[in-house]
Structure 1
Amino acid sequence: MNRYFYTAILRMASPVLLWWLQRRARKAGGVWDIRGPERYGRYTERPQASPQDEDDGYAESVFDFARPVWVHAVSLGETRAAQPLVQALLDQGLPVLLTHFTETGRSIGGKLFAPAINTGRLCQAWMPYDFPEAVQGFLDYWKPRCCILIEREIWPNMVAQAKKQNIPVIVASARFSPASLRRGQLLGSVLRKALTSIDLILTQTHIDAARLAEIGVKRTRVVGNLKFDLRISPEQSHMGQVARRHIGRPVIVIASTREGEDELFTRAIAQIKKTYQSEQAPRNDAQRQDPSEAGQNPMPLFVLVPRHPQRFDQVAGYLADDGLSVCRRSAYPTDKQLRTTDVLLGDSVGEMFFFYGLADVAIVAGSFAELGGQNHIEASALGLPVIVGPHTRNFQQSVEDALAEGAARRAHTPSEAVDLALRILENPELRLGMSRAAKEWLSLHEGATDRIMTALQPYLK
């Protein structure tokens, strides 16, 4: 398939694709601007070139927002991964245009880079749809000096239009699994041509570079994974650690659960509750005492954090159906409530380091269904013992390394993961050993941002 037929098929399929996106947006909530002019590369105002609110006490002088470095981070995960790179670009004095495709990515980007946005040093925009005229309108308006794509978000018309306007295109922290390349092969030569025309692809691993070489991509360089260069929120992690000391009970965080996992984890927690109740059961009803009256729930506090905000209420329903007492993070429960409740539902966005600061052990989900897994590196950065599931292709190399270094363990089911977390809690020597291993392992892989910035210098002029 060449690019002409790709574009024709995209146009014909656009009504269905827009309907699907609108449906997804309604479920997710927030403002996606699915049919907005930015999505079609249409703008009516000049790029923001000055602080949005001069009374905020930020820069007094107008910042010249011209020829920005365009960084595209499609969604929440890529935006968080791109944080150290975007900050390094800002620290070099460069204006940054940060684009997203999803509302969650744009929302977290607004939080992470609020000072730069308020001073006019960073602008956010929606990624245009991959129609030639939409991409051309976008590029004509913003006039970026280069384009940096995070991980693997590659669109044929976007790459072609950038090359037509002599805008260098670089993929940073690139990862290409066999499955992603197989899906890409459905587009035939159009994707292969896009990949081979990219100026530089900075891969996470030698394996990624070898996969690209198989389809004729030669301009690659191995730099490592941006997700190792974390910018931990010390405020969030400190708040979590203080809360843990106040509630005085062990905490197990189950992070980034996806569809098909929540119900299994709630059942596993409910089974643990039954076990604790049977062990604590007095010999006669007269001796029975409600945990809230006793002042402390005998079992660990479980913190369940769904990956997507649109599923918060649904997961709360699963927990209630399984007879579990629940507090919601959005309701800001008291220490007393957290001492007695079974589960804290993490129904907030952008607070993962708070939840990890609260935890003694982390189960990183997205890997107990065939979804490829979620970012386990953040938990390791805070020295937490990590448990992952069997499906971790999105983080294949880093998971294998963490397992080999003793920083993580693998479980095959949610129930097995919860049981393993309890065993780690009961074995202080094992827990501390995994914590030390996590920090040492992470220190071996830091520095991807510096290597990427070095490779980018010729394109930032």
Structure 2
Amino acid sequence: MRILYSLLWWLALPLVLTRLWLRGRQEPGYRQHWGERLGFYPRASAAALGRAAPVLWVHAVSVGETRAAEPLVDALLAEYPQSRIVLTHMTPTGRATGKAIFAKHGERLVQSYLPYDTGSMVSRFIRHFQPQVCILMETEVWPNLIAVCNARKVPVVLANARLSERSLRKASRFGTLLLNAARGISLVAAQTEADAQRIRSLGVQRVEITGSIKFDVVVPEAALAIGAALRSAIGARPVLLCASTREGEEELILAAFESARAALPAEILLLIVPRHPQRFDEVEKMIAARGLNFQRRSQLTLDGSALQGEVLLGDSMGEMFGYYSACDIAFVGGSLVPMGSHSPIEPAALGKPILIGPSSFNFELVIEDVLAAGGAHRVADAADLMATAARLLNDSSARETMGLNAQSFANQHRGATRRTLTLLNDRI
């Protein structure tokens, strides 16, 4: 099965590279560093790590995983002061996020794209960087990567691991290919008992429950400063944030916003932050088509001038904590459409009341727990989202109670990073 899988990779490679080039029309980052995706690297990337220093490899596919990896990367570099980290990604947005988050570590951390999953490409990566351990964040299971690591005695660890029922059903369609790959993982640090049970069903020998590392993320002072500056520009106006929205959600939200204006506070600001930067211009056109007055975050100087308009389009990277900090209510995107919702942990950590749509399979247990703790409310659709927002914005006591419940929930779940680090000690 793995031979067939590898052959399919080679046959598909021209199409994969063509798609990469086409995606680069909207997001130029896809046209950069192609050599890395094929397993070719400049000597400087390995030299920056230092051959005498132990190299720890952490893979964070995109933005969410990169942000989640921050506490673990920081802890690894503190725990092993002589070590260096090579941090790999699959998307330009993940790489840009990593660059912003980990600039503080200087030459101790080098970034690269993960090579496509063929034996030769992965082998070149491992020969080049010579990692002592491979730490995959959350749900990444690559058959050839794991096989090459096993052959070269590089332990493979799945950290902050989660596996939904939906993902498990998808994995089962690949038969022995993914089952054999899963058995090659030497350690899994799972977020929940349910995740652990599903991962064990794939045949992984050692699965431990550590909780979610995302609860350990420390809100950067710079992000809080941006949030404070945004709040100053907004003034006393109530702010409904729709964070990490996905394709199909913005139209629903904008239509419901217009319909609910009579019930919403007169001076409300709707802050929409699309998940993917290549959609910023598309969402701007949606807002303009409805005749709504709006501004783009990229055009704000935050020099003390009052923010104008009914809608603010959050078209910046790396400022999500700032947006959460500046809002009064946070809706978590991906949940009005069948995308499974994004994580509610960031707004919970900042003590914000959270609204979540009906689709939440990606973070089902976390979402159910924060709902049970009284820190979040489930809405049925976009109209219900606006009706619930109107009720909360007109009831400061209920809003404050929800925010305190959310923050208490987040604080109770800290500690996953230290538990994961303890498990990693015998692998490094």
Aligned to 1:96: 85
**Secondary structure in 2 matching 1:31:** helix
1:406 matched to 2:404? The reply is no
What is the Cα deviation at residue 91 of structure 1? 1.4
Match of 2:237 among 249, 252, 263: 249
Please tell me whether residue 192 in structure 1 is matched to residue 192 in structure 2.
no
Match of 1:228 among 209, 215, 222: 215
Number of positions where the alignment pairs a residue of Structure 1 with one of Structure 2: 424
Residue 40 of structure 2 aligns with an amino acid whose one-letter code is R
CA contact (8 A) 1:205 1:222 kept: yes
Matched, 1:105 2:114: no
Residue among 189, 204, 218 paired with 2:205: 218
- Please tell me whether residue 423 in structure 1 is matched to residue 391 in structure 2: yes
2: CA distance between counterparts of 1:422 and 1:388? 15
- The secondary structure found in structure 1 opposite 2:426 is helix
The match for 1:55 is none
Q: Which amino acid aligns with 2:22?
A: R
Q: Which residue of structure 2 lines up, in the alignment, with residue 282 of structure 1?
A: none
Indicate the SS of the match to 1:113: helix
For 1:126 and 1:31, locate their aligned partners in 2 and report how far apart those are by CA, in whole Å: 11
**1:309-328 alignment to 2 at 5 Å?**
309-328=277-296
Q: How many percent identity over aligned positions?
A: 39
Q: What residue number does 1:54 align with?
A: none
Q: Is the 8 A contact 1:47 1:65 kept in 2?
A: no
1:39-438 correspondence to structure 2 within 5 Å: 39-50=37-48, 66-92=53-79, 93=81, 94-116=83-105, 118=106, 120-245=107-232, 247-273=235-261, 275=262, 298-332=266-300, 336-338=305-307, 340-438=308-406
Paired with 1:44 and 1:265, the residues of 2 have a C-alpha distance of: 46
1:19 partner amino acid: T
Q: Which amino acid aligns with 2:93?
A: T
Contact 1:147 1:167 in 2 (8 A): yes
Distance 2:191 2:22 in 1: 34
**Greater CA radius of gyration, 1 or 2?**
1
Partner Cα distance (2:279, 2:378) in 1: 26
Distance 2:277 2:169 in 1: 30
Distance (whole Å) between structure 1 residues aligned to residue 237 and residue 255 of structure 2: 21
Q: Give me the whole-angstrom Cα distance separating, in 2, the residues matched to 1:210 and 1:217.
A: 10
CA drift of 1:439 comes to 1.2
Quote how far apart the aligned CAs of 1:23 are.
Answer: 2.8
Residue ranges of structure 1 left out of the alignment (5+ in a row): 52-62, 280-296
Q: Given the alignment, which residue of 32, 36, 54 partners 1:38?
A: 36
Over residues 117-164 of structure 1, what are the superposed CA-to-partner deviations in whole Å (9 max), with x where a residue is unaligned?
Answer: x3x100001100001100000000000000000001111000000010
Which residue number in structure 1 is paired with residue 420 of structure 2?
A: 452
| Corresponding residue number in structure 1 for 2:5 | 6
CA distance in 2, matches of 1:365, 1:159: 33
Larger mean Cα displacement after TM superposition, 181-190 or 389-398: 181-190
Q: Aligned partners of 2:32 and 2:70: how far apart in 1? A: 25
Partner Cα separation in structure 2 for residue 336 and residue 140 of structure 1: 54
Q: CA deviation at 1:80?
A: 0.4
Superimposed CA distance per residue, residues 210-239 of structure 1 (whole angstroms, 9 cap, x where no aligned partner): 112223223100111111111212232243
CA distance in structure 2 between the partners assigned to 1:341 and 1:212 by the alignment: 48
**TM-score in terms of structure 2 length:** 0.95
Letter aligned with residue 437 of structure 1: N
Bigger Cα displacement from structure 2, 15-24 vs 379-388:
15-24
Runs of 4+ that moved beyond 6 A: none
Seen in structure 2, the aligned counterparts of structure 1 residues 186 and 18 have a Cα distance that, compared at 3 Å, is farther
What amino acid is aligned across from residue 445 of structure 1 in structure 2? H
TM-score for the superposition, normalised by structure 1: 0.88
* Structural mapping, 1:12-27, within 5 Å: 12-27=11-26
SS at match of 1:187: coil
For 1:218 and 1:323, the matched residues in 2 are separated by 58
Give the distance between the partners of 2:315 and 2:260, measured in 1 at CA: 22
Superposed displacement of residue 48, structure 1: 4.7
Tell me the SS of whatever aligns to 1:459.
coil
Q: Distance in 1 between matches of 2:10 and 2:87?
A: 26
- Give the match's secondary structure for 1:16: helix
Matched AA of 1:451: R
Shift of 1:270: 2.0
Mark the runs of 5 or more structure 2 residues left unpaired by the alignment: none
Letter in 1 for 2:296: R
Tell me the alpha carbon deviations over residues 158-177 of structure 1, each in whole angstroms, 9 at most, x when there is no partner: 00000100000000010111
Kindly indicate whether the alpha-carbon contact (under 8 Å) linking 1:236 and 1:353 is maintained by their aligned counterparts in 2.
Answer: yes
Match of 1:32, SS?
helix
Deviation at 1:98, TM superposition (A): 0.3
- Given that 1:270 and 1:323 are in contact with CA atoms closer than 8 Å, whether structure 2 keeps it comes out as no
- In structure 2, how many angstroms separate the alpha carbons of the residues matched to 1:231 and 1:65? 31
1:451 and 1:359 map into 2 onto residues whose CA distance is 32
